[in-house]
Amino acid sequence: METMAREQLGELQSARLIQQVRRAYRQVPFYREQMQKLGLLPEEVRSIDDLCKLPFITKQDMRDNYPYGLFAVPLAEIVRLHASSGTTGKHTVVGYTSRDLGIWSEVMARTLTAAGASKQSFIQVAYGYGLFTGGLGAHYGAEAIGASVIPASSGNTQRQIMLMKDFGTTMLACTPSYALFIAETMHEMGIDPQELSLTAGVFGAEPWSQKMRLEIEKALSIKAFDIYGLSEIIGPGVASECSCQNGLHVNEDHFYPEIIDPLTGQSLPYGEKGELVLTTLTKEGMPMLRYRTRDLTILHSEPCACGRTLVRMSKVLGRSDDMLIIRGVNVFPSQVESVLLGLGETSPHYQLLVDRIDNLDNLTVLVEMTENMFSDEIRRLEVLEHKIEAELASALSVSAKVRLVSPKTIERSEGKAKRVIDKRNI
Ligand SMILES: [Zn+2]
């Protein structure tokens, strides 16, 4: 599949798309209504070239159909649920059939194999296990290869290092920022990474730069590979780097990538920067037709030296919305806003400061006090800070530090408020 001739791949994609569109039209009221609005019948999608006739689907549509409205099979056929956080605190839910899980294992097996894994590998999965797709996605991919999986999950860094050392871990799977944190802790513990069996790592779930790659490779004495995915499509396994480390090959036999102008929605050719739109070609549980990822990237169709014919996407270059990814968790400024408005004890003026300290993302929320709070005693303000912190932690699923600031100190804007100051150099 990964080295198929482009023409043959196009035929396969067309055949799969036709099936996918018909099924979505028949089984999912949302798709049927959207297509009817455009006066489009499923029979009019005859090849992959007709994909652009279909409307887009967005995260908002997922929220509107929460939790199971976009499923295309009876609930009894769903064998796994995952979720990611959204703007309103409500998660976006995804459902997998048993066949979907098989495809997910397959694309994750490709991802790990491209990074050098084999049956002989010991793969330590330090992504979180749970509703987040990172942990279980990597886990099943590693098992599909026949590698030995070490399901460490995230956190407990000293134990991670002990496992690496004692179990002979050869490949690490986690977020890139966590990889750097592990490297630092290792250094503090006086362990030389050269003593370990670690040779490679697959890192994703947050954007990272070439500079960070070099840092990780040096600090852990490994090759660091970028992997890409999102729960809405399947989880990790949508695209991944090969040994050339020159863009991420998209598993196009299952996920069809397009690039659009985020403002006009017009399709852009290969080589141009725009928003990535993905269509699942084989997913049964929850087909996604033209999902707007909001991730900005470029698709490259030039042949790759590794022999794979699948197109490559560049590292994610940013977002077309205001979503932040903090320690692998999606955070929207509007979530912070609804917490503050819900408490109603401060002014509604706030700002998110994001920084990477000791290789870990740190979120600080500045909240303006009202004039009458300003004269309150420090003790009372501290209590309020902690109260907001607790509310935010539960709404965002990631911890944030809250700092109350004097009235009128957060810059006012005449247009769109500047809600986020991102100081991370990624
Ligand atoms: Zn390649």
Q: How far does the centroid of ligand 1 lie from the alpha carbon of residue 240, in Å?
A: 9
Q: What is the percent of the chain with per-residue pLDDT over 90, rounded to a whole number?
A: 73
Q: What is the pLDDT of residues 247-260, one digit of tens each?
A: 999 999 999 999 99
Which of 271-303 are b and which e, b meaning 16 or more Cβ less than 10 Å from the residue's Cβ? eeebbbbbbbbbbbbbbbbbbbbbbbbbbbeee
Q: What's the pTM value of the predicted model, to 2 decimals? A: 0.84
Q: What is the pLDDT of residue 2?
A: 98
Q: What is the pLDDT of residues 275-330, one digit of tens each?
A: 999 999 999 999 999 999 999 999 999 999 999 999 999 998 878 887 888 888 88
Q: What is the percent of the chain with per-residue pLDDT over 70, rounded to a whole number?
A: 97
| Inter-residue contact 93 to 67 (CB < 8 Å) | yes
Q: How far does the centroid of ligand 1 lie from the alpha carbon of residue 226, in Å?
A: 12
Q: Long-range contact list for 189-196, CB < 8 A, 24+ apart? A: 189/158, 189/161, 191/161, 191/165, 193/219, 193/220, 193/221, 193/222, 194/221, 195/165, 196/164, 196/165, 196/169, 196/221
In the chain, what's the furthest Cα-to-Cα distance?
Answer: 72
Among all chains, which residue has been given the structure tokens 């004692």? 166
Q: How far does the centroid of ligand 1 lie from the alpha carbon of residue 60, in Å?
A: 34
Q: How far does the centroid of ligand 1 lie from the alpha carbon of residue 225, in Å?
A: 12
Q: How far does the centroid of ligand 1 lie from the alpha carbon of residue 222, in Å?
A: 19
| Inter-residue contact 323 to 88 (CB < 8 Å) | no
The CA distances from residue 48 to 149, 179, 182, 288, 317, in Å, are: 37, 39, 44, 15, 26
Q: How far does the centroid of ligand 1 lie from the alpha carbon of residue 238, in Å?
A: 15
Q: How far does the centroid of ligand 1 lie from the alpha carbon of residue 399, in Å?
A: 38
Ligand 1 ion: nearby residues, β-carbon < 5 Å: 242, 244, 304, 306, 308
| Strand-pair partners of 291 | 57, 278
Q: How far does the centroid of ligand 1 lie from the alpha carbon of residue 338, in Å?
A: 44
Q: What is the pLDDT of residues 210-269, one digit of tens each?
A: 888 998 999 999 999 999 999 999 999 999 999 999 999 999 999 999 999 998 999 999
Cα distance between residue 107 and residue 114, in whole Å: 11
Positive/negative CA dihedral, 67, 95, 175, 166: positive
> From the centroid of its chain, how far is CA 282?
20
Q: How far does the centroid of ligand 1 lie from the alpha carbon of residue 76, in Å?
A: 39
Q: How far does the centroid of ligand 1 lie from the alpha carbon of residue 124, in Å?
A: 24
> What superfamily does domain 329-422 belong to in CATH?
ANL, C-terminal domain (3.30.300.30)
Q: How far does the centroid of ligand 1 lie from the alpha carbon of residue 302, in Å?
A: 10
Domain boundaries, the chain: 92-321, 329-422
Which of 189, 194, 304 is closest to 244 using CA atoms? 304
Among all chains, which residue has been given the structure tokens 């949302």? 30
User: Among 3.40.50.720, 1.10.760.10, 3.40.50.12780, 3.30.56.10, what is the CATH number of 92-321?
Assistant: 3.40.50.12780
